[in-house]
Amino acid sequence: MRGRFYELGVFLSLGQSKIKIILQQLIEIGMIFSIAFVLSLGTSKMVSNVVSSMLEESQSYEKEIVMEIKDDQKDDKQLDETPNNNVFDRVMQAPTNTELDVSLTATTVVQLAEITVIICVVSIMLPAIYILRLSPREILVKKEG
């Protein structure tokens, strides 16, 4: 909204109502939200698999280091077993840990959508309240000065 400060001043000076300006902003954010939300749902399974695999590897690697320190042995075989797999190879593999649930349910998707819509509305309304309380003249003068 800060970047569009001058644009809002021009719309107000042309006679657009404040409600139409806010609705325009909400529609624009809504279109961006819908595209981003669909993309995030499509890629969430891949990302969760990668992250869970990374977490499992880091935990197992830390356990190996702790075991090496406790055993106080300098075994080169254990040091060579560091995780060196390519991230892209593990994208479609499910995590081996059965305690980790990375599935999406309909209620989870709805809750995520609700939270995101609330964030979008608040991100439009708070700056709009500040900007639209000014007169068009004040907005246009601030841009020039």
In terms of residue numbers, what domain contains 26?
5-144
pTM beyond 0.75, yes or no: no
Number of domains into which the chain is organized: 1
Among 99, 104, 103, which residue's Cα sits nearest to residue 56? 99
Average pLDDT score over residue span 136-143: 78
* pLDDT, tens only, 13-48: 888 888 998 899 899 999 999 999 999 888 887 787
DSSP result, 50-92: HHHHHHHHHHHHHHHHHHHHHHT---HHHHTT-----GGGGTT
Q: Specify the pLDDT at position 82.
A: 46
Taking the C-alpha atoms of residue 128 and residue 139, their distance in angstroms, rounded to an integer, is: 12
* pLDDT, tens only, 47-104: 877 777 777 777 665 555 555 555 555 554 444 444 545 555 555 555 555 556 667 7
Taking the C-alpha atoms of residue 128 and residue 88, their distance in angstroms, rounded to an integer, is: 43
